[in-house]
Structure 1
Amino acid sequence: MPGETGFPLLAQRITINPHYEAFISRKSDRLSARNLLHLESRLVYLEYKLDQADEQAALGSDNETRRSIRAWEAFEQNSEDKTRPEHNRMKLVEEVSERLKEYQEALLRQSQIAALEGPRKRAFDASSRQPILAGLAEKRLSEHNLRDLAAFGRTPDKDLLLRFLQDYWMFKTTKITDGAENINENHVAWVTDIISTVVAAILLLGAIVLLRFLT
């Protein structure tokens, strides 16, 4: 759209591609690892505090306190009294439950993010050719972050010939924005079918001709 720049223009270029190849973002592996380490370390500390509280309750002389480590009903009932040690222990148990859920959710999300494939070379080159954003975000797709990138486009075709033509054959394209072009996938698939058919015919006819000259 006329007059657009910065974030609006970049968003338009990302979403206008029909195959979503321009949906390339950083996985932020270093920050994800840092976050997991923080959550894990906090859980280790909470586990230590909970073990200490359990040990003190087991070695105590109060029968009600010792009963609360064996029966949940007693533990929950005694925790309502703010003057009893079960109150602080219940708060600790609830914090462990909350932080453990947060850690496990982050762990599962990170495992899914780690499985994301990186961008195709053609899509990466097109997206990083002319940076639109300014500041630190200008180098969001820089070369040194290439391993830290994830592509959210459609699953790339595993056909080697088709992938080769998609990456290097630029004869028929449609200009969609300034400085950005989109390959007509139908043309690429059409040429791939023709090449495959011709090669198969040559192999078949070549075998027939060769057999005619053999005794």
Structure 2
Amino acid sequence: MATIQVDTEAALDETEYLPGFADFGHFIGSDDSLSIYKKFGTLGARNLLYLQAELQLLEIQLNELDEEDKRIIATSSNDLEKGMAERAARSWEDLNEQANEGNEKQAGKLRMIYRIRKLMKEYEEALLRRNQVLELEKPEKSPFNAFKAWFRRSPPVLWGSGFRLLHDEEDMIALGSQDEPDRMSALMHRCLGYRLRVERETPKSWGPMYYYPVERVALIVALISIIVSAALLVGAIMALYFVKPMGIRLGLVGVFTTLFAASMTLLTHARRIEVYGATAAYAAVLVVFISVNN
């Protein structure tokens, strides 16, 4: 059996958490973007298949009982047996009454109906829950990298089955919104992240951890967007005002329109149809300005 080296100083440190699930839970709870868990895609599918197969078997057995009652009604020479089978097939009260009076065939059928009702509820709830799980998004790249680096430190955070948490990285999901940052925000994280990051007080065993204030980044990107939009509009109007040859004017419209479309793609999360619409409106404004000042 391997010998575990215990850090006595860390164990006595009040700022440290109990190693294992307690420590891991505090790490995940330190930031919403770290709420990353296994999806259990294969296991979830297998559970639904088992429920489905069990329901299919019950359906087959119920159909067999129906066929038996149908045969009795059609061919039996015993009028009492024939009448009882037909009443049980047509009346819920008669089915219950015959089952309570000891008719084993109808009692078995009633038990099967109750079993189907319970299992059908379980199956449908499992389907709906699984659908909700499948709608959850994969973790965003940056927090997932931080999650993996922290989990795979030495010694391992979790032992036993918990150690296999990241054996299949494609089987992970994240809670909450996982919208990818726009290109400008991502660029700022890479180039200016060191100046924007905020260090939080965390246990020493976690190592240095930095958090990026999303609000601050969003404000900077918004200011850049306003400045770029204003510059493209004012710059285009000024250029078209001073340039008189129509061929050059049309060329300038094409250049500024392309720059406007590129800025929207870079600075926003606008969808393609929204980029098309805004670009068309921008180009229309420039064309109207040319026609008015021709």
Give the structure 2 partner of residue 135 of structure 1: 160
For structure 2, list consecutive stretches of 5 or more residues without a partner in the other structure.
Answer: 1-14, 152-156, 245-294
Instruction: Indicate whether 1:187 and 2:187 are aligned.
Output: no
Task: Check whether the contact 1:22–1:153 (CA below 8 A) recurs between aligned residues.
Answer: no
1:69-84 equivalences in 2 (<5 Å): 69-84=89-104
TM-score by length of 1: 0.87
The higher-RCO structure (CA 8 Å, 6+ apart) is 1
Superposition RMSD on alpha carbons, in Å? Answer: 2.2
Query: Residues of 1 paired with 2:191 and 2:99: CA distance?
Result: 69
Using the aligned pairs only, state the percent identity. Answer: 28
Query: Residues of 2 paired with 1:160 and 1:130: CA distance?
Result: 26
TM-score by length of 2: 0.65
Paired residue secondary structure (1:2): coil
Query: Residues of 1 paired with 2:115 and 2:86: CA distance?
Result: 22
Query: Residues of 2 paired with 1:71 and 1:44: CA distance?
Result: 25
- After the TM superposition, which of the residue ranges 188-197 and 112-121 deviates more from structure 2? 188-197
Instruction: Indicate whether 1:154 and 2:177 are aligned.
Output: yes
Paired residue secondary structure (1:170): helix
For structure 1, list consecutive stretches of 5 or more residues without a partner in the other structure.
Answer: none
Task: Check whether the contact 2:88–2:94 (CA below 8 A) recurs between aligned residues.
Answer: yes
Give the structure 2 partner of residue 202 of structure 1: 231
Query: Residues of 2 paired with 1:51 and 1:204: CA distance?
Result: 73
Greater helix content: 2
Query: Residues of 2 paired with 1:167 and 1:100: CA distance?
Result: 51
Instruction: Indicate whether 1:26 and 2:38 are aligned.
Output: yes
- Larger-gyration structure (1/2): 2
Task: Check whether the contact 2:140–2:178 (CA below 8 A) recurs between aligned residues.
Answer: no
Task: Note the alpha carbon deviations across 1:20-77, whole angstroms, 9 max, x for none.
Answer: 1111111101001000100000011000110111111222231212321111111111
Q: CA deviation at 1:182?
A: 1.4
Task: Note the alpha carbon deviations across 1:142-175, whole angstroms, 9 max, x for none.
Answer: 4x432x2211133526744335545775221122
Change in Cα spacing, 1:48 to 1:166, as seen in structure 2 (3 Å) is farther
